Structure 1
């Protein structure tokens, strides 16, 4: 029989009465605060009893908008759940609706409210940088910009930037080498030999001709492809008439490379350049409680690819918006999904373009609020146009984005459905007392070293049907005999759970703690990559800490250590469990175990390399982080090269100031 959670004690009527009385008093207090709000535009924020932000919204009329939450009974809906949690509210009055839009999105990104649509902050988009120089070079760039250089983009990903650089190398042959390499060349490099560079480092091209290639590159990246092709054709004919056939053939090859690119991009050059050469195409789809926004980028008239974004909390936020902000009868299914998709798209536009580059043209699958576009245009200082029913080439691009959005969402739902079934299978196999599968939390440990050197332990976390990489942890294992995996496991488990054991001893068992605080709870399953020996060590640690050993499960390799023949070993005396190789539960266990192994071994290799190369000497110097360390090692070939470099040479590395170079020089002497 399936084990059940511990039963709660019978409710105390007096306690219930006090809770109801407190809720009524809280509601009266909130209603009085709402009644005092002005009829002005602004932003409102709701907080729970723990002072955690629940929702951030904007309003043309604060009193009218906020009072709509409290004027009717929302029952057991999502909005009802949110309203029941509201303990206090804050408002900020602004001058215009545009200011409210910007402030709302700033707060959403900063506070991550529970009931707002949230798009995870991704790493910055890459750019193509043209470094200003007597002979400028073209280079991939991500990060802060400098006014003295020219930047083109952003691009949807690194691949798009590198493909553009490769095209520029084939057509315009600009250099890509580092400044130190450029200054110290005595003969042409391989790129010159394969006709991907004109060799300015060794005088193989004049400054005037190179400047012309730079000018053509800029025009090409700005979308003036037709003009560039026409000028190249004129130059080719001029060289042919002068009987300079080799130069004419080289220009012919450039024109052919550009023509192939145009055909691949399906751009109709006969009709002239696009009126808007930089554009973002945005498509949205909501289905199965999830949403996808597909962003495709066009820069200089070239379609550079797309990227899919999957917001969190879309279910709560879209239902909330549909229920609160529609005064008419409940929406029909199609209208509801269209309304939900529009709100998801507006949330993406507000959060995505708040601080980054916004192109002059947005092609959208749904009509969006004109005030939102106007506020972004005001912020950027340039005209921004949004179209949701484009024609001709723009229609083709929008259809491509919509199709990509539908495929990405279908793939996500398929993967999540499969993962959900694996979670359910593991819960059933382990007979866990869990009613909501999203709450299952698994932590898995592995030990990695090389013949006892650079021992590291990894802890990976599985929660809400997926691996939570932000919660992964690595532990440096010290003070043990090299290669003693049992001692390493004892150390990492003690370090991981000792504070939790102290908290449990003070507060009592954590049964019934709300899911929002589950991260502080003991996991439902603690997986150990190992058999009886490792489990015996884990059992000893948990018994010493006063933690239940029933959560410990070892993953023991089967006969011949073959994949798919693993057995589950339990610390509480249950018999070993052997599952079929194609069992969904075993697949999930293997996935988590393999991720723990990968995370451990990559950390161990990095630590081993640091120890062997002396890289840690650089990291120990104040002001030298991973990026600067990588640049130094790349430039000088290792720590010995860095130590042998002069202050001036160190200061020539990107990100190394003269003061930091002086500090670095003294520290390595």
Structure 2
């Protein structure tokens, strides 16, 4: 075994059982390097330490391993599911990783009790259709998921045209005295004022659900039977209403190209790999309707693919070793952890039957993958493949442009051109209104893009209002004091932890005065002043005439209006300004409504806060509302309305 690893680690590897399980490798900083699964832990893990990997990617990773964790499971299916749960939650450096997007939206129909037109409250007797994102509740019915908010809203509009179901909040519904505009334009049957009976409305809800399930032919037959029944009973007005629904539904089926094939719920997955990047384009068919697609871009593709190729102790079927197949397998395993999986997947690459079996075991139904579809399925796959090509080409073009900007700025500032990905820039800006609600912002740039999750805001206090120099002194001291302390503890060496490491460039939105203030702070802290760069407005403060000012005495640099380096500097500076402005406005709004925020009031959570802001048009509107007005909002009791009223005064 490798002489570069500790005896303790090698002994742990030698003692592993020959059972299925999941293994995890960690480096000296306890960073998770890799998560893998094995049908035989002893054989798989030992191969990493007994083979000669040379200067390959897997050799580079193995050289970093100092610690190992393993989990024994009962089957390969369990190992596969655990592996991808860990990859998704722990973000290892050498696995193909699909970062979490926002949760998928659903279409919600409220109130289980409304199926037969009964219920205690009006909102139960007359359910509403609504856009929804979040956890599900057994009291309501959910349809989806949909690829985006636009797809849900389009479906709601479709249901309004055909079945005229209500979309208003329960509080609005309960307090209506006359029909709203939606009734006037024939998008709602106005159950709020009794213009439709509860049983008739329940029938429309049932029809809408049938359409969402893709039961379009059965639905048309049911509507025709209802129309005939009304006609036979001489209920010609009701028959005309049903006739209009049939006509509207037929138009929708034609215009929306809703398929009448046997596929009701299908996901189409197309993969494209190019230039070291990959794209998985997911298209969704729900209820026979093609709802659109969404593109996903994994990270760590090349490293993970190289390591996967090296894991050759277990033979795999033809085609599953390709990078595209690995990317698809990683997406399927990670994506469907938290999203319902349809019974049929139409795919551009082969999928391991063991993966499908594990998914089916988790979902409680049989999952099939079709790689060479025919007819309508083939058209769906070709559309998804074309979408993947377009999205990946767009990404590569954007990344190429951004990398060119990073390189141009690195050349101007004489930074290391060999490690462009790791170049880190932090930019500071101060914002206030006549000294009120002073905020400092810090935005972060590395790996050729802004890193929103690393942004910081600083509330500036204890300074003379409007003193931007004092504000800059305070924010730089607060940001870099612990960096200076970490460097002193490390004997002056750079610290590997990003939070305690000095960035390559500290960008200051300001000229000589702000740069001088930053130099004083860095000198007092014992930090490298050569990293401070100011962005000084040019003649007439015109865009494109900015100059770079340095704290270490270097002469100013004029980049030129068309400079790629100036484009990057402007992008980072503008983002810092935007971030500071939004923080300042939020702080100012808090000050002007009595020093309290809605979310600080006990009993007002995110949902109630959103409802209040939507009803009254913002914090100012909430502050101006009476107790009686506040109590009309869904979820706001009279007692809570009193509390909100008092808190915002």
TM-score normalised to structure 2 length: 0.90
- Report the equivalent of 2:54: 75
Q: 2:126 aligns with which of 115, 135, 146?
A: 135
Kept in 2: contact 1:444–1:529 (CA 8 A): yes
- Report the equivalent of 1:114: 93
What are the residue-to-residue correspondences of 1:82-161 with 2, within 5 Å? 82-132=61-111, 133-161=124-152
- Report the equivalent of 1:590: 570
Structure 2: distance between partners of 1:540 and 1:399: 61
Kept in 1: contact 2:171–2:632 (CA 8 A): no
Partner secondary structure for residue 58 of structure 1? strand
Partner secondary structure for residue 226 of structure 1? helix
Kept in 2: contact 1:276–1:360 (CA 8 A): no
Structure 2: distance between partners of 1:659 and 1:315: 59
Is the alpha carbon distance of 1:289 and 1:213 closer, same or farther for their aligned partners in structure 2, counting shifts above 3 Å?
Answer: same
Structure 2: any 5+ residue segments left out of the alignment? 112-123
Is the alpha carbon distance of 1:603 and 1:81 closer, same or farther for their aligned partners in structure 2, counting shifts above 3 Å?
Answer: same
- Report the equivalent of 1:7: none
Is the alpha carbon distance of 1:187 and 1:81 closer, same or farther for their aligned partners in structure 2, counting shifts above 3 Å?
Answer: same
- Report the equivalent of 1:407: 390
- Report the equivalent of 1:61: 40
Q: CA deviation at 1:467?
A: 0.6
Q: 1:291 aligns with which of 270, 278, 283?
A: 278
Structure 2: distance between partners of 1:558 and 1:666: 50
- Report the equivalent of 2:197: 206
- Report the equivalent of 1:355: 338
Q: Indicate the larger mover: 613-622 or 454-463.
A: 613-622
- Report the equivalent of 2:292: 305
Deviations along 1:328-379, one digit per CA (max 9) or x if unpaired, are 99x9xxx999611111111111111113211121111111111111112111
Q: 2:541 aligns with which of 561, 567, 572?
A: 561
- Report the equivalent of 1:37: 16
Deviations along 1:502-538, one digit per CA (max 9) or x if unpaired, are 2222323334x55xx3442111111111112221221
Is the alpha carbon distance of 1:657 and 1:522 closer, same or farther for their aligned partners in structure 2, counting shifts above 3 Å?
Answer: farther
Tell me if 1:383 matches 2:374: no
Q: CA deviation at 1:235?
A: 5.6
Is the alpha carbon distance of 1:47 and 1:662 closer, same or farther for their aligned partners in structure 2, counting shifts above 3 Å?
Answer: farther
- Report the equivalent of 1:438: 421
Tell me if 1:196 matches 2:187: yes
Structure 2: distance between partners of 1:180 and 1:144: 22
Structure 1: distance between partners of 2:133 and 2:315: 48
Tell me if 1:176 matches 2:162: no
Partner secondary structure for residue 292 of structure 1? strand
- Report the equivalent of 2:529: 549
Q: CA deviation at 1:404?
A: 0.8
Kept in 2: contact 1:556–1:569 (CA 8 A): yes
Tell me if 1:314 matches 2:301: yes
Partner secondary structure for residue 616 of structure 1? coil
What are the residue-to-residue correspondences of 1:160-559 with 2, within 5 Å? 160-232=151-223, 254-268=245-259, 273-325=260-312, 339-511=322-494, 517-559=497-539
Deviations along 1:108-143, one digit per CA (max 9) or x if unpaired, are 222221211111112211111000110010001111
Kept in 1: contact 2:510–2:534 (CA 8 A): yes
Tell me if 1:576 matches 2:556: yes
Kept in 1: contact 2:320–2:350 (CA 8 A): no
Partner secondary structure for residue 121 of structure 1? coil
Structure 1: distance between partners of 2:624 and 2:214: 43
Kept in 2: contact 1:434–1:440 (CA 8 A): no
- Report the equivalent of 1:52: 31
Is the alpha carbon distance of 1:487 and 1:394 closer, same or farther for their aligned partners in structure 2, counting shifts above 3 Å?
Answer: same
Partner secondary structure for residue 609 of structure 2? helix
What are the residue-to-residue correspondences of 1:585-624 with 2, within 5 Å? 585-614=565-594, 616-622=596-602, 624=604
Partner secondary structure for residue 435 of structure 1? helix
Structure 1: distance between partners of 2:567 and 2:630: 55
Q: CA deviation at 1:246?
A: 7.7
Tell me the number of residue pairs that the alignment of Structure 1 and Structure 2 aligns.
634
RMSD (Å), alpha carbons: 3.0
Structure 1: distance between partners of 2:183 and 2:637: 33
Structure 2: distance between partners of 1:360 and 1:556: 60
Q: Indicate the larger mover: 98-107 or 228-237.
A: 228-237
Q: Indicate the larger mover: 137-146 or 500-509.
A: 500-509
Kept in 2: contact 1:284–1:344 (CA 8 A): yes
Partner secondary structure for residue 485 of structure 2? helix
Q: Indicate the larger mover: 241-250 or 197-206.
A: 241-250
Kept in 2: contact 1:283–1:398 (CA 8 A): yes
Structure 2: distance between partners of 1:204 and 1:283: 48
- Report the equivalent of 2:117: none
Structure 1: distance between partners of 2:577 and 2:630: 42
Structure 2: distance between partners of 1:85 and 1:57: 16
Structure 1: distance between partners of 2:99 and 2:594: 36
Partner secondary structure for residue 345 of structure 2? strand
Deviations along 1:416-457, one digit per CA (max 9) or x if unpaired, are 111111111101111224531111100011112222222211
Q: Indicate the larger mover: 139-148 or 480-489.
A: 480-489
Structure 2: distance between partners of 1:444 and 1:31: 46
Partner secondary structure for residue 530 of structure 1? coil
Structure 2: distance between partners of 1:580 and 1:617: 45
Structure 2: distance between partners of 1:586 and 1:639: 43
Q: Indicate the larger mover: 173-182 or 352-361.
A: 352-361
Structure 1: any 5+ residue segments left out of the alignment? 1-21
Is the alpha carbon distance of 1:242 and 1:95 closer, same or farther for their aligned partners in structure 2, counting shifts above 3 Å?
Answer: closer
Q: Indicate the larger mover: 131-140 or 604-613.
A: 604-613
Structure 2: distance between partners of 1:615 and 1:170: 46
Q: CA deviation at 1:83?
A: 0.9
Is the alpha carbon distance of 1:549 and 1:25 closer, same or farther for their aligned partners in structure 2, counting shifts above 3 Å?
Answer: closer
